[in-house]
Amino acid sequence: MTNQQPPNNRLDSIEAILASHNQILNELAIAHQQLASFSTRQAERQQQQLDRHDEALTRIEEQQQRTAAQAERTERTMQALSQTQVECLQLIAQNTVAIARSDQRIQEILERLDRRFGNGNGRGEG
């Protein structure tokens, strides 16, 4: 454009440029609105995913706490069972010794009876 154009042609040219710029601005505004809408939907979806992940993490943490508590109870139970097993083995050992003593004592009594009454015919030696 030169300054030598007639005023009407310059005005028409400026109006055409303004119309073109307005059209571009309108298209940009629509694109911006679409982009903002898309970004909002994306943010909402991401928030929903974060919420689901937080819920899953909370469930996992709760399960982990329950598992730890169960492991602690199991450990205590195993310790109690081990103690019971030790006590049981001690009782078995004590009973085995007592039975051996009883067997020995019974054997001694039988030998004395056998010496006293003989071969079982009722006659004692004496």
Q: What is the pTM of this model?
A: 0.52
Q: What is the predicted pLDDT for the residue at 118?
A: 75
Q: What is the predicted pLDDT for the residue at 5?
A: 60
Q: Would you give the distance in Å from CA 97 to the centre of its chain? A: 49
In sequence order, what DSSP letters do the residues of 41-79 get, joined into one string?
HHHHHHHHHHHHHHHHHHHHHHHHHHHHHHHHHHHHHHH
Stretches in the chain below the pLDDT threshold 50: 1, 126
Q: What is the predicted pLDDT for the residue at 81?
A: 95
Question: What is the rounded distance in angstroms from the CA atom of residue 12 to the CA atom of residue 15?
Answer: 5
Q: What tens digit of pLDDT does each residue of 39-60 get?
A: 999 999 999 999 999 999 999 9
Q: What is the predicted pLDDT for the residue at 8?
A: 81
Residue 8 structure tokens: 């009407």
